[in-house]
Structure 1
Amino acid sequence: MAKFDSHFITLVSFLLIIFYIGLPCSATAPRKLALVQPQPLVLKYHNGPLLKGNLTVNLIWYGKFSSIQRSIIIDFIQSLSSKSRTSHPSVSSWWEITGRYKGGPCTITLGKQIFDQSYSLGKVLTPSQLVVLSSKLPHRNAINVVLTSADVAPDSFCMSSCGAHGSDLAGKHKKIRFAYAWVGNPEKQCPGQCAWPFHQPIYGPQSPPLIAPNGDVGVDGMIMNLATVLAGAVTNPFDNGYFQGPVDGGLEAVSACTGMFGSGSYPGYPGKLLVDRDSGASFNAYGIRGRKYLLPAMWDPKTSACKTLV
Structure 2
Amino acid sequence: MASLSFLLLLLLLAVSATFLPSSMAASPSFRTLDANAHFFNPKLPAKSFSSSKKFEGSSDFVNLRYHMGPVLSSSPINIYLVWYGKWSVSQKFLIKDFLLSISAPGPRRAPPSPSVAEWWQTVSLYTDQTGANVSRSVVIAGEHSDLHHSHGTDLTRLSIQQVIATAVRSAPFPVDHRNGMFLVLTSQDVTMQDFCRAVCGFHYFTFPSMVGYTLPYAWVGHSGKQCPEQCAYPFAVPAYMAGGGPGVLSPPNRDVALDGMISVIGHELAEVASNPLVNAWYAGEDPTAPTEIADLCEGLYGTGGGGGYIGQVMRDGEGRTFNVNGRNGRKFLLQWLWSPVLKACAGPNALD
**Which range, TM-score by smaller chain?**
0.7 to 0.9
Q: 2:314 matched to which residue of 1?
A: 274
Query: Letter of the aligned partner of 1:133 in structure 2?
Result: V
Q: 2:237 matched to which residue of 1?
A: 200
Determine if contact 1:96/1:105 at 8 Å carries over to the other structure: no
**Which residue, 181, 190, 197 being the options, matches 1:143?**
181
SS at 1:78's partner residue?
helix
Which stretch shows the higher mean deviation, 155-164 or 204-213? 204-213
Q: 2:219 matched to which residue of 1?
A: 182
Is 2:133 the partner of 1:104? yes
Bigger fraction of residues in strand: 1
Is 2:117 the partner of 1:92? yes
**Which residue, 134, 145, 148 being the options, matches 1:118?**
148
Query: Letter of the aligned partner of 2:187 in structure 1?
Result: S
In 1: Cα distance, 2:149 partner to 2:222 partner: 15
* TM-score normalised over the length of structure 2: 0.76
In 2: Cα distance, 1:120 partner to 1:276 partner: 41
Query: Cα distance, 1:108 vs. partner?
Result: 1.0
Query: Letter of the aligned partner of 2:200 in structure 1?
Result: C
**Which residue, 58, 79, 91 being the options, matches 1:69?**
91
Q: 2:36 matched to which residue of 1?
A: none
In 1: Cα distance, 2:251 partner to 2:327 partner: 17
In 2: Cα distance, 1:275 partner to 1:145 partner: 30
Query: Cα distance, 1:4 vs. partner?
Result: 3.3
Residue segments in structure 2 that go unaligned for 5+ positions in a row: 1-11, 25-57
Give the percent of matched residue pairs that are identical in Structure 1 and Structure 2.
33
Is 2:153 the partner of 1:128? no
Larger RCO: 1 or 2 (CA < 8 Å, sep 6+): 2
Determine if contact 1:73/1:223 at 8 Å carries over to the other structure: yes
Q: 2:260 matched to which residue of 1?
A: 221
Which stretch shows the higher mean deviation, 288-297 or 163-172? 163-172
Determine if contact 1:7/1:193 at 8 Å carries over to the other structure: no
Query: Cα distance, 1:82 vs. partner?
Result: 3.7
**Which residue, 3, 10, 14 being the options, matches 2:22?**
10
In 1: Cα distance, 2:65 partner to 2:161 partner: 27
Query: Letter of the aligned partner of 1:114 in structure 2?
Result: H
- Higher Cα Rg: structure 1 or 2? 1
**Which residue, 24, 47, 53 being the options, matches 2:74?**
53
Determine if contact 2:19/2:198 at 8 Å carries over to the other structure: no
Query: Cα distance, 1:173 vs. partner?
Result: 10
Give CA deviations for 1:11-53 in whole Å, capped at 9, x if unaligned: 49xxxxxxxxxxxxxxxxxxxxxxxx95443311111111112
Query: Letter of the aligned partner of 1:250 in structure 2?
Result: P
After TM superposition, the runs of 4+ consecutive aligned structure 1 residues lying more than 3 A away are 37-40, 169-174, 201-205
Give CA deviations for 1:40-81 in whole Å, capped at 9, x if unaligned: 433111111111122101111011111111111000011111
In 1: Cα distance, 2:163 partner to 2:104 partner: 28
Name the count of aligned residue pairs: 284
Determine if contact 2:59/2:343 at 8 Å carries over to the other structure: no
Cα gap change, 1:120 to 1:197, in 2 (>3 Å): same
Query: Letter of the aligned partner of 1:5 in structure 2?
Result: A
Determine if contact 1:144/1:179 at 8 Å carries over to the other structure: yes
In 2: Cα distance, 1:233 partner to 1:139 partner: 17
Query: Cα distance, 1:177 vs. partner?
Result: 2.1
Query: Letter of the aligned partner of 2:125 in structure 1?
Result: R
SS at 1:150's partner residue?
coil
In 1: Cα distance, 2:20 partner to 2:181 partner: 24
Bigger fraction of residues in helix: 2
In 2: Cα distance, 1:242 partner to 1:101 partner: 8
